[in-house]
């Protein structure tokens, strides 16, 4: 199962492997407080794409398509796919918008790829 959660939410035993998927470390959170087990900063959208998106919900659909293109070429995609196949994971993000962020897009990408490989 692939969950997503804001890093500011309390860790739970059911989270499985907690993976921070933001390029920048979240303010006010230590690795211990956030219970981050893996930080895959290179799986995050490129700096250029992140700035272009600017967390504008009107751009989310285009952002997601462009991010999927980046993910298809990103070698870290294989690493995170392996982790998802091995057990439960929680993708951690720091954005305030819980519906239009890179973790939401990444989960969709991963779920689509997992379905394709079944």
32 pLDDT higher than 90: no
Q: What is the pLDDT of residue 117?
A: 74
Q: Poorest-confidence range of 14-18, 21-25, 98-102, 112-116?
A: 112-116
Confidence category of residue 92, pLDDT binned at 50, 70, 90: very high
Q: What is the pTM of this model?
A: 0.92
**Average pLDDT taken over every residue of the chain:** 93
Please give the average per-residue pLDDT across 1-27, as a whole number: 94
For residues 107 and 99, what is the distance between their CA atoms, to the nearest angstrom?
A: 12
């Amino acid at each position: 199962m692939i969950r997503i959660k804001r890093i500011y939410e309390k860790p739970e035993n059911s989270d499985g492997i907690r993976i921070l998927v933001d390029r920048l470390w979240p303010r006010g959170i230590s690795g211990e407080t956030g219970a981050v087990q893996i930080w895959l900063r290179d799986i995050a959208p490129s700096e250029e794409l992140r700035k272009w998106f600017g967390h504008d919900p009107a751009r989310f659909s285009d952002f997601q398509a462009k991010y999927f293109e980046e993910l298809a070429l990103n070698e870290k995609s294989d690493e995170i796919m392996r982790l998802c196949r091995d057990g439960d994971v929680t993708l951690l993000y720091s954005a305030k918008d819980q519906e239009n962020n890179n973790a939401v897009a990444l989960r969709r990408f991963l779920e689509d790829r997992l379905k394709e490989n079944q």
